[in-house]
Structure 1
């Protein structure tokens, strides 16, 4: 669950909550496995979009105590095996299966992802069959070529390339910290016990002191500086530094941040997003996702949706993490959060009605 600390200053000088979800800790996983003895495995997402990382080895030990496999979604971790100053790679931390999107922090083209498998809790035959079921029979030779090229480049030059990227990221973070209204996140999240480790190549900056949201900051930088940032949400923006960056791209990013600080006063203020407390996001699961998705459904006005079972996935983007999944019971608090986000300009691409004036729910039987 999200935990507090950091960010813009609240009245009285106390830092407000980050409103940032960090990965679960081993004790969280142990508690969940005790509550759900029929669980078949554990899916752990680390690093997060914001660079915070889980204690993979600790979670793996808990999973293996219960004889269930640990599957790590390491989409943002293609670079992790190639430099000791980076967070641990899942395969070095006893995960059973690691899925890596090499196109994100690596040097391969879009859709270049790989499986890493070890131990005997996941059958390689079953994994191959499931992949065949979902994958294309017309695989791209370009994808395979760039994957192979990336692997060779990292083996031969990875340490030096990433060493330079790490130094560059620290320069950018230090420069951003000197700009009024910007608060970059760093190792303080680890020192405070909020995350097991942190990827320093993620430049995550709280912009609330500028009086704008991260989404507004991203739009302004794109429109005025022709720079696309990697991610944003209500509180912050983020950029990724990789082995491919150089002095020019470093200065382009810093120039965009300076322009944002100078131009933030001209950004139109929008209605604020009413962020909920973390427990509010833990909704009751009344039906399985599959049963709810394929059930008889109806569309109801948002004002009458509380208490109904959702029949769709609703994911504000960025970062694209579902707030409501099929089978969960909709609440007034979550509706307030989502609808205020839509009014602010948050994209909700997967809802049947992206304005959230109506919601798709399971039809009730009278």
Structure 2
């Protein structure tokens, strides 16, 4: 996402003071029904269209492990004299082994924000900034952090962050080397199981992503006749195994520095059991997945204006063509399908409604059942 505002809106990752967001669309993967990060040329084109943009926010790696060409995007941004901010929530481990994708700081990003509690060893809410160059003012960054952060910081969070940093500095290469070998064994074993399609670095060879994090075990289960959500529920109920994520197509798991032979064995045996037991899982009506481009909705009103504007609840069938006054993020995977200010389409309503029937949770909508939608009141 590009921002026309001062650096503060880019750093916070939100739209402030009614500033228009300029979306750099991801690379859609129709076969896998997922989105990969945009390429440098995509960013260059948008910067040329919007020369007054003030910064670029890039999300990489994705939750499913596909990674952007950070250095390429950084070169494009710096040629336009704008900073590159990387949301590297799933990349805490990247600096500590050469067999992993590029770390944003090594790839010349100006600011990297990392959620260490995801792929690192810190506790929940443990995140850090990494800053270099002079395109983002350290004083401005500190002021914004003071504005948004708590005045009652947790000593446990700080201790966990420092403990993780020291462990990785002293032992990280060896621990991650073991994790990479473990992930390679798992991927090879799962490739032999019928009905499972394990995503790997073929997405790089196909030109869909610049790099791939091999510690993400992403398994498409559609050939078993079930969805990822059903697979996750079955694994939890029948094998007492929780996977990291699921959606209508797949499940995903993360191999980390703390896994061992026992956890590797448990995951592999659980997925073998899933293959053997898939026929016993009740078939449900499929989620009506839209074409990828149907998810690119028209932004008719600024998000802030739509969210705080006069709104009403209308039946789902009457929401088509109206402007959303809310965010709608089906879980799993928890990624917004509709943002405030976007025009709701029939394809999106069908997708969301079929997802509700299938088991989606939509906690951020005013009506989680999606029988009604919150839309801007017509003038």
TM-score range, shorter-chain basis?
Answer: over 0.9
In the alignment, the residues of structure 1 paired with residue 282 and residue 368 of structure 2 have an alpha-carbon distance, to the nearest angstrom, of 22
How many angstroms does 1:338 deviate by? 1.1
How many angstroms does 1:268 deviate by? 1.1
Match of 2:238 among 216, 220, 224: 224
Determine whether 1:78 maps to 2:88.
no
2:335 match = 321
1:163-242 equivalences under 5 Å are: 163-242=177-256
In the alignment, the residues of structure 1 paired with residue 366 and residue 40 of structure 2 have an alpha-carbon distance, to the nearest angstrom, of 37
1:36-75 equivalences under 5 Å are: 36-75=50-89
Answer yes or no: is the 8 Å Cα contact 2:29–2:35 preserved in 1: no
Tell me the C-alpha RMSD between the 2 structures: 1.0
2:8 match = none
Q: Could you report, residue by residue, the CA deviation over 1:129-182 in whole angstroms, capped at 9, with x for unpaired residues?
A: 111111110000000001001000001000000000000001111111111111
Determine whether 1:342 maps to 2:345.
no
In the alignment, the residues of structure 2 paired with residue 182 and residue 120 of structure 1 have an alpha-carbon distance, to the nearest angstrom, of 47
Q: How many residues align?
A: 354
How many angstroms does 1:312 deviate by? 0.4
1:8 match = none
Determine whether 1:261 maps to 2:266.
no
More moved, 153-162 vs 333-342? 333-342
In the alignment, the residues of structure 2 paired with residue 132 and residue 59 of structure 1 have an alpha-carbon distance, to the nearest angstrom, of 29
**Per the alignment, in what secondary structure is the counterpart of residue 113 of structure 2?**
strand
How many angstroms does 1:38 deviate by? 2.7
Q: Could you report, residue by residue, the CA deviation over 1:321-349 in whole angstroms, capped at 9, with x for unpaired residues?
A: 11110011111111111111111111211
What TM-score results when the alignment is normalised by the length of structure 2? 0.92
2:147 match = 133
**Per the alignment, in what secondary structure is the counterpart of residue 92 of structure 1?**
coil
1:298 match = 312
How many angstroms does 1:210 deviate by? 0.4
Answer yes or no: is the 8 Å Cα contact 1:2–1:278 preserved in 2: no
Q: Which runs of 5+ in 1 are unaligned?
A: 6-16
What TM-score results when the alignment is normalised by the length of structure 1? 0.95
**Per the alignment, in what secondary structure is the counterpart of residue 139 of structure 2?**
helix
How many angstroms does 1:4 deviate by? 4.2
Answer yes or no: is the 8 Å Cα contact 1:49–1:319 preserved in 2: no
Q: Which runs of 5+ in 2 are unaligned?
A: 1-25
2:4 match = none
How many angstroms does 1:2 deviate by? 4.6
In the alignment, the residues of structure 2 paired with residue 243 and residue 192 of structure 1 have an alpha-carbon distance, to the nearest angstrom, of 29
1:107-118 equivalences under 5 Å are: 107-118=121-132
